[in-house]
Structure 1
Amino acid sequence: MTKTSRLFTPLVASLALLAQLAAGPALAGPKIEQWTAPTGARVLYVESRALPLVDIQIDFAAGSAFDPAGKAGLASLTQGLLEAGSASLDEQQIADRIADIGAQIGGSTESDRTSLSIRSLSSEAERNAAIELGASLLAQPTFPEDILERERKRALAGLREALTKPAMLAARRFNEALYAGHPYGGSVTAESLESITRDDVVDFHRRHFGAQRASIAIVGDVDRATAERIAIRLTEQLPPVEAAAPLPAPAPTQATVLRIPNPSAQAHIAVGQAALAREDADYFPLLVGNYVLGGGGFVSRLTKEVREKRGFAYSVHSYFAPQQVAGPFQISLQTRGSQADEALAVVRETLAGFIAEGPSAEELQAAKDNMINGFGLRLDSNAKILGYVAMIGFYRLPLDWLDTYPQQVAAVSAEQIRDAFARRIHADRLVTVIAGGDGDKAGAAPATAEAGK
């Protein structure tokens, strides 16, 4: 195959998918099949023959919300050590095996879940080799003590650097304030990292990495029977575990302003509250409304008021981050320290006006048009489809979530947006964090400050 044809094939596949999504009055998502494997794992599968690849993501209810008290960072460290050694291979041999079979293996840890992802050629030999390796990493990690110490030192160095940056200080303090006393509110510290032992890692894996807590998404060039075998192989040797206990709802916050000193010229500002669970009746009104408020880039109200009219910030945006239980609503911006209070006043005024008035008819239609017309681009690759399918599987959303997304967006009314924002976003619960900006306040009296942890 020539270089031109190699480039042409995925291009044609992407264009074909976009054409399919754009056809007809409704934009159809991929066909998702679902079943429970004999091991107890939940499986979602999408057949896609456009490219000779298979993409797999295994999610466990084992995110940072499950870190024990005083051990923040344990979930992330456990995930990062999966590739450090298995029963039959050491770290270097694992890296060599991945390179030899042309696979990609990685992972991540969020508040709710920890993931391992596998991308492989769909040809039988390469695919089977990648699945065998993935199964070994999941079920038989050795967590070598020396590599744990190396990764701990790396994490400590990264933490020390992060705590010099006002953006990170603001993000940490904002999350701690929104979720004080809640599993979402833990922050990694030097003390928590130093306290983690190999026994902690082994125990965390044993208690959380089981098929009963696993959700598997498989997208690509394999048939249903092959997908069933893949799901079994990846989870059949995992330890038995108990189902994850439901997370509690976070306690309501009280309006407060927290200032973190830092010599930066730019002040990093975060405003918000806990607001939206992944399964929530207000999801689409809040999603569409947020596009108008601050999620739509240069066409959003916050950008027009804060940047275009007053020049307070180059960038200002808002977003909802839905999680298992109420994830954050957040407005973020950076501005010169000397004008931070003025910029913040404009943000609050704009938010209050939007809650009271909702979007105009023109704003609402523009938001819907952009969100619906751009929907196909969210599904133009196996990797993007995998991300959505994994999300649907882990959070147990309806299988037609992608199919109905455009219709759900189109059906949102201005009144629904006003009602949802009025019920869910409250001025007397908004937490405000201002980190840095001291370098732009020469001659000013020092403000009362709460230091970052």
Structure 2
Amino acid sequence: MRRRTLRFFFILFLLTAFLPGGASSQEDELLKHPRDMKFPPLSFQPPKASRTVLDNGMVVYLLENPELPLIRLSALIRTGSIQDPPNRSGLARVTAAVMRNGGAEGRPFKEINETLENLAAEVEFSMGTESASGYLFARKEDFARVLPIFADLLMWPAFDSEQLDLVKKAEIEAIRRQNDNPEEIAYREFRRALYRGNPRGQIPTVETIEKIQREDLIVFHRRFFHPTTIYLGVSGDFKKEEMTAALERTFGTWDRSFIEIPSIAFPSPQEEKAIFYAPKDIPSSTILLGHVSLPQKHPDYFSFKILNFILGGGGFNSRLIQEIRSNRGLAYNVGSFYSGRVGYGVFGALCQTKAESTHRVISLLYEIIQGMKKNPPRPEEIDWAKKTLINQFIFSFSSSAAVVGQQMRLEYDGLPEDYLEKYQERVAAVTAEDLQRVAREHLHPGKSVLVVVGKEEGFEKPLSSFGAVNRIELKSAP
């Protein structure tokens, strides 16, 4: 037996050692750097959920997945904190919180909490800037009990006064602590400056939260929560026909109503450089630099997305990280971001550095961003960025819930039906000439908002060397 085994390995050695492309070629392949390895092009067709419309006009996306006996339902609601009245900033977020915690008509909040806890189910609501959302998560066997709870909270919230008081106290406490984190300060003041004069730049205060009354929540809910302003997505272990019938029964009492959502103007681009300084007695500085950019529907959206990836959105191989962190050791956290939204977009770069290197880092941020126009992306950078973005896109469909969420968002944002199908093709079609033109036309470091949080006494040069400085006083909330 032992002799037969030795003979087998001897023959195997001869085959791998002397056949063309044997051991040496395999060893060469293993020793290659991952960036130099070649793979066949990825072929991926995004999965699709089925779309239906309930009798009352509510749009529903359904995707069956019997792998586990679980069901997840999500809701996307056409509202957001941009609809806050100026003297009630924070109302939208408070409304969403009390919707969940304040019970529903005929369902006390304590009873709801006990039921969900006993069933290990989840129901939540939240409010973003330009949309609200909700979700339900339950075992298949419990879904019939949990769905009516979710529906009643969505349609007929009770807005319990005691729960409203608790939510307001929590919001006020968060406002009182809002100056603890320098990065949160930078983003808040960046948003305020970027969206000057626009509801997107409204920041809740203790005074605006204290003014909110139960009647305000009722009015807000009646104004924005209707079947025709809501998209539902359901994924998990169910049959499409049975789920559609269950949703019709559950939401059928909610009458169709056509309402006009108030139109909010999009933010306008900065006409000149604006510098803001928030003094904080800390040994480091947080720097945020950016401007209003391209919306998602813009023809140059994909080109700008790739450009940002190469500049600083792509991690360790991006230019900002390579130069500021790896080559100069001036920062641990540095990078750029770009978000294309409906009607507008936001581009920015963030860096956290020592106080004494603040001026150098700001200079480098301006220089490297401006340098994208003079030193366009190299072929290897373009190839890396396009391949990575396509790979990331594929992994965004990792679950049936993610698939449903993608399609809901497409319709909510008014994007073309073939957007997901054409995504990889549009990324691959971007050329070096496109990137050079987009950098020239759409990167504007000289017309950007710069926010710096830190201790200027420790800076090697004053911020005024970059232009006029607007000082932000970080006052403690009462």
* TM-score for the superposition, normalised by structure 2: 0.84
The equivalent residue for 2:230 is 214
- Determine helix, strand or coil for the equivalent of 1:379: coil
Measured after TM superposition, the shift of residue 119 of structure 1 is 1.5
One-letter code of the match for 1:200?
D
Question: Which AA in structure 1 matches 2:359?
Answer: D
The answer to whether the 8 A contact 1:258-1:434 is kept is yes
Partner of residue 199, structure 2: 183
**Contact in 1 for aligned 2:289/2:349 (Cα 8 Å):** yes
Conservation of the 8 A alpha-carbon contact between 1:265 and 1:438: no
Gaps of 5+ in 2: 1-38
The correspondence for 2:279, drawn from 213, 236, 261, is 261
Aligned residues: 430
Q: Quick check: 1:48 aligned with 2:65?
A: yes
Structure 1 match to 2:9? none
Residue number in structure 1 paired with 2:173: 157
Residue of structure 2 equivalent to 1:98: 116
8 Å CA contact 2:369, 2:445 repeated in 1: no
Q: How does 1:260-299 map to 2 (within 5 A)?
A: 260-299=278-317
| Matches of 2:457 and 2:165, distance apart in 1 | 37
| Distance in 2 separating the partners of 1:237 and 1:371 | 44
Partner of 1:229: 245
When structure 1 is superposed on structure 2, of 435-444 and 399-408 the one drifting more is: 435-444
Distance in 2 separating the partners of 1:234 and 1:300: 50
Q: Would you say the 8 A contact 2:456–2:462 is kept in 1?
A: no
How much identity, in percent, do the aligned residues show?
26
1:439 is displaced (CA, Å) by: 7.6
Shift of 1:158: 1.1
Q: What is the identity, as a one-letter code, of the residue corresponding to 1:425?
A: L
Distance in 2 separating the partners of 1:356 and 1:222: 56
Cα 1:445–1:244 change in 2 (3 A) is closer
Match of 2:472 in 1: 450
What corresponds to 2:54 in structure 1? 37
Residue 375 (str. 1) matches residue 393 (str. 2): yes
Question: Residues 320 and 234 of structure 1: is their aligned pair in 2 closer, same or farther, counting only changes over 3 Å?
Answer: farther
Return the alpha-carbon distance in structure 2 between the equivalents of residues 413 and 23 of structure 1. Answer: 20
**Letter of the structure 2 residue corresponding to residue 308 of structure 1:** S
Matched, 1:171 2:190: no
Residues 337 and 231 of structure 1: CA distance in aligned 2, closer, same or farther (over 3 Å): farther
1:362 matched to 2:380? The reply is yes
Once residues 171 and 95 of structure 1 are traced to their aligned partners in structure 2, the CA distance between those partners, rounded to angstroms, is 35
Q: Distance in 1 between matches of 2:371 and 2:336?
A: 15
Give distance in 2, aligned partners of 1:445 and 1:319.
23
Residues 357 and 460 of structure 2 are in contact (CA less than 8 Å); yes or no, is this contact kept in structure 1? no
Structure 1 residues 168-189: Cα deviation after superposition (integer angstroms, max 9, x where no partner): 2211110011111112111111
The verdict on how the C-alpha distance between 1:432 and 1:24 changes in structure 2, with shifts beyond 3 A counting, is closer
Superposition deviation, residue 316 in structure 1 = 0.8
Which residue number in structure 2 is paired with residue 6 of structure 1?
none
- Secondary structure of 2:353's counterpart equals strand
1:78 counterpart = 2:95: yes
- Offset from partner CA, 1:290-319 (integer Å, 9 cap, x none): 111111110110101111111111011111
Task: Report which stretch shifted further, 297-306 or 45-54.
Answer: 45-54
In structure 2, C-alpha distance between the alignment counterparts of 1:216 and 1:355, rounded to whole Å: 44
2:370–2:443 Cα contact (<8 Å) kept: no
AA aligned to 1:73 is: G
Identify the residue that residue 9 of structure 1 maps to in structure 2. Answer: none
Contact 1:270 1:433 in 2 (8 A): yes
Encode CA deviations 1:371-415: one digit per residue, 9 max, x unaligned.
223433222223433442332232132333333322222222122
Q: Measure how far apart 1:117 and its partner are.
A: 0.8
> Which residue does the alignment assign to 2:434?
416
SS at match of 1:249: coil
Deviates more, 1:221-230 or 1:254-263: 221-230
| Equivalence for 2:346 | 328
Larger mean CA deviation between 225-234 and 139-148 belongs to 225-234
Once the two structures are superposed, what CA deviation does each residue of 1:303-344 show, in whole Å capped at 9, x if it has no partner?
Answer: 011111111110111111233331321111111122111101
Distance 1:282 1:276 in 2: 8
Rounded to whole Å, the distance in 1 between the matches of 2:135 and 2:365 is: 39
- Post-superposition offset of 1:364: 0.5
The C-alpha deviation readout for 1:267-301, integer Å capped at 9, x for no partner, is: 11111111132333222111122111111110110
**Larger-gyration structure (1/2):** 2
Contact 1:303 1:317 (8 Å CA) reproduced = yes
Q: Which runs of 5+ in 1 are unaligned?
A: 1-21
Tell which deviates more after alignment, 129-138 or 236-245. 236-245
The counterpart of 1:144, out of the listed 160, 163, 166, is 160
Mapped to 2, the partners of 1:234 and 1:306 lie a distance apart of 56
SS at match of 1:315: strand
